[in-house]
Amino acid sequence: MRKEPLLTAVPPAPVASLGELYAIAFDQAQKAAQRYGALATQPDERLLPVRAVFSVLSARERERCDSLSAACLAACGKRPDGFDLRWPPIDLVAAAEIADIGNSSLSTPYAAWALAARQRQRAFVFWTYVIALAENPQVRLTAENMAREALSDGNRWRRERRRAWRAERKTATGEMAASDESASAALLESLLLRDIVAWSQGLTPAQRDQLQAMDPSRLPANFLTPSDQAGIEPASGDHETIKRRALRRAEQLSNIYLEEADSADDQASMELAQKLAAQSIMRLAGLRNVAEASALR
């Protein structure tokens, strides 16, 4: 869970005119439409579960752009103009959060709707600041309407987020009943090692050496299952399937160790979980580097 405030900066000065207000709102909506649209059209198979969500979000932001453009033309006699900006508009769709979704093999509709809800919550907080600072009554009134719109959209996206959470929980419950692959960190480490060994067979010797160095040998003995110690069974699936599965399992393990560090009851458990999380994150980065390098061959 993110601990930083919703807004990393506040408006540095009052918005002086309606033209400036519409230019700020248009810039923010346009950036959101572009960033959501990029994820909606990205061909990466990891984003398949969330493309439809980002298509909806991108369309809503484009609709907002059109509405703002028409309103600005009616009120100011011109379309929103970047030359009216006196300071860079605050970014409401954080680049780091977009990267989290785009780079993750665990991206879900719930995470996408949660991102959208945060964006509209940021917008509400932003327009609240604008209202508080405004000296122009027209600016204040228009910003109030924008704040109400942000609240309405935020409520809408939170409803979608709840629906997605229920659906994902139902799916996860079914998968846990049907499969033992969601069990423990120890089992995931064992399965990941098998995937790494199988994945390495289709790589160059240098890449194979790099990949096979990413094993669980630095983990405590209790994290190695008997099958790991006795020998490694081959993983099933074609090369691409094994690679994607290995990346997904490596990311799952990083999340597990981070969650264990957050919920640890004592200092020793927290330090162990933090150590495992750090190792797992470095391993995930290494696996992604190998995956990118092998894709360029």
Taking only the tens of pLDDT, the chain with its 297 residues reads 344 456 667 788 999 999 999 999 999 999 999 999 999 998 877 788 889 999 999 999 999 999 999 999 999 999 999 999 999 998 888 888 888 888 777 778 888 998 999 899 899 989 988 998 999 999 999 999 999 999 999 989 999 988 888 887 666 555 444 444 344 788 888 888 888 888 888 777 777 777 767 654 444 444 444 444 444 444 556 778 888 888 888 888 887 887 787 777 778 888 888 888 778 877 887 888 787 776 655
Claim to verify: residue 163 and residue 266 sit in the same structural domain: no
Structure tokens at 144: 């109030």
pLDDT at 164: 86
The answer to whether position 42 is within a domain reads yes
Residue 243's domain is classified under what CATH number? 1.20.1260
The answer to whether position 230 is within a domain reads yes
The answer to whether position 11 is within a domain reads no
Per-position b or e across 111-147, b if 16+ CB within 10 A of its CB: bbbbbbbbbbbbbbbbbbbbbebbebeebbebbeebb
pTM summary value = 0.64
Claim to verify: residue 110 and residue 206 sit in the same structural domain: no
Residue with tokens 């704040």: 147
The answer to whether position 90 is within a domain reads yes
**How many separate domains does the chain show?**
2
Claim to verify: residue 192 and residue 169 sit in the same structural domain: no
Domain encompassing residue 246: 185-295
Claim to verify: residue 39 and residue 71 sit in the same structural domain: yes
Claim to verify: residue 196 and residue 214 sit in the same structural domain: yes
pLDDT at 235: 52
Q: Last residue of a domain, which of 121, 145, 178?
A: 178
The answer to whether position 10 is within a domain reads no
Q: Last residue of a domain, which of 147, 178, 209?
A: 178
Helix (H, G, I), strand (E, B) or coil at 218: helix
Claim to verify: residue 37 and residue 90 sit in the same structural domain: yes
* Neighbour-count burial of 297, counting CB atoms closer than 10 A to its CB (0-12 exposed, 13-18 middle, 19+ buried): exposed
Claim to verify: residue 216 and residue 155 sit in the same structural domain: no
pLDDT at 212: 67
